[in-house]
Chains A and B, each alone.
Chain A
Amino acid sequence: MANKKSFALHKLHTLLGLFPIGLFVVFHLTANFQATKGPEAFNSAVQMIEHAPFLLFLEFGLIYLPILFHAIYGLYLAFQGKPNNSQFKYYRNQMYLLQRVTGVITLIFVAWHVWQTRIQKAFGAEVNFDMMADILSNPFMIVFYAVGILSAVFHLSNGIWSFLVHWGITVGPRSQRFASIFSMIVFVALSYVGLRAMFAFV
């Protein structure tokens, strides 16, 4: 009795998903969108970010560590469930499964993406428009990135819905239905931003 550890960890998991990870995803996709205005615009956005003070500290504190925790605890939670979607084909049950599936896909995608960009930068490569254009010159990578971006965006959008329930903000069915619609609008909007940005490199 009186073991509140998993309660606290779960609260932390949902909180980190939105702040800072969700905010970071929105920021990242928006910054990438600069690529639609040409290589110079994208490169100057990258330059601006790279000149931020305490960059490494911010990267670890607001991006790497939260994502690592969210991913590891999320995997633990996902594999605790036994999906029963063939038996119960309700909308929210499908979302339940998709949330877990997209979470795993996003994790694989992010790990690969970090390897291709941030870790290569640590090895001395320069992050710029050409780097992405080079990565996306491979048609397999275009598919991989598109699936990865859509998974991440879905996971975030539907995650907003779960966050609102988990923190007791949307309690009744009406507010939850409204949040469902809102989360799908976020999904469509962010997917547009993410995919447009990606295809700017192709």
Chain B
Amino acid sequence: MAEKLVHLIVTRQDTPDSTPYKEEFKIPYRIGMNVISALMEIQRTPVNAQGQKTKPVIWESNCLEEVCGACSMVINGKPRQACSALIDKLEQPIRIEPMTTFPVQRDLTIDRSRMFDALKRVKAWIPIDGTHNLGPGPRMPEVDRQWAYELSKCMTCGVCLEACPNVNDKSPFIGPFAISQVRLFNEHPTGKMNKAERLETLMDEGGISYCGNSQNCVMSCPKGIPLTTSIAHMNKETTKQALKSFFFS
């Protein structure tokens, strides 16, 4: 009986500077397979579709349940998490490419440092350290906690940057996710105390004004985060902040 095969076309790259090339694989099908388990199969038997021995494909993944953000890649033309990309639901041959908005390290491994730099830039944290015990912080209304929780699902996966036409090497745009994180931390009752500081960072070079409203981010976000609502809300807040600092201090 002929074995059912999964046909993969992987865009590979040996070093950060070398030219990418495509390699095809035909691997045995198993029930419930996802793209990660298909890549693991290649790792076990690194033989391409022509039957030649090849280097196993390199990728990054951790949680395997779509919460860590590490296994983002472009699968059949759309950036998404490889762990939640089920083989049964994908059209074959499955085209797997790295998210080239980021520097490719090797094969499907990318360097998402720019996202962590952006989070540092917009001060996406809540300063709570003091020289003495500051006591419990103010309480957060349950209605606000509910929508803020949705924003906190961001896993820095980079899909919104890959989908955004304004995130590229010609533009300094930091990306949609960072703007949404400012909204999250500015909503927190303790985080609110540093609201103005974060808004100022969004008004800097590469900040919120670089959004071109293509709204691909909200359509692509694997966590369903209302990114464009966050962006529009921060548009309002930065405008208010700009007027405040222009007229009052």
The verdict on B203 contacting chain A, using a C-beta distance below 8 Å, is: yes
Decide: B204 and A171 in contact? CB cutoff 8 A: no
Partner of B204, one of A2, A87, A161, A168: A2
The verdict on A196 contacting chain B, using a C-beta distance below 8 Å, is: no
- Please report the C-alpha to C-alpha distance between residue A8 and residue B203 in the assembled complex, in whole angstroms: 9
Chain A contact residues (Cβ within 8 angstroms of B): what range? 35 or more
How many residue pairs, one in A and one in B, have C-beta atoms under 8 Å apart? Answer: 105
The verdict on A7 contacting chain B, using a C-beta distance below 8 Å, is: yes
Contact partners of A7 in chain B: CB under 8 A = 203-204, 207-209, 238, 242
Decide: A176 and B228 in contact? CB cutoff 8 A: yes
The verdict on A192 contacting chain B, using a C-beta distance below 8 Å, is: no
The verdict on A96 contacting chain B, using a C-beta distance below 8 Å, is: yes
- When C-beta atoms are compared, the residue in chain A nearest to B201 turns out to be A1
CB distance from A114 to the nearest CB of B (A): 28
- When C-beta atoms are compared, the residue in chain B nearest to A84 turns out to be B165
- Please report the C-alpha to C-alpha distance between residue A6 and residue B231 in the assembled complex, in whole angstroms: 17
Decide: B209 and A171 in contact? CB cutoff 8 A: no
- Interface-located stretch among A29-37, A74-82, A183-191: A74-82
The verdict on B54 contacting chain A, using a C-beta distance below 8 Å, is: no
- Please report the C-alpha to C-alpha distance between residue A4 and residue B214 in the assembled complex, in whole angstroms: 23
Mark interface residues in B220-237 (1 if CB within 8 Å of A CB, else 0): 100000101101111111
Q: Which residues of B are in contact with A by a Cβ distance under 8 Å?
A: 77-78, 163, 165-166, 168, 170-171, 200, 203-205, 207-210, 212-216, 219-220, 226, 228-229, 231-239, 242
Q: Which residues of A are in contact with B by a Cβ distance under 8 Å?
A: 1-8, 10-11, 77, 79-84, 87-88, 90, 92-93, 95-96, 161-162, 165-173, 176
Known A-B contacts: A7-B207, A81-B168, A165-B235. Give 13 more (CB < 8 A).
Answer: A1-B204, A7-B209, A11-B209, A90-B214, A92-B216, A93-B214, A95-B214, A96-B165, A96-B215, A165-B231, A168-B236, A171-B235, A176-B232
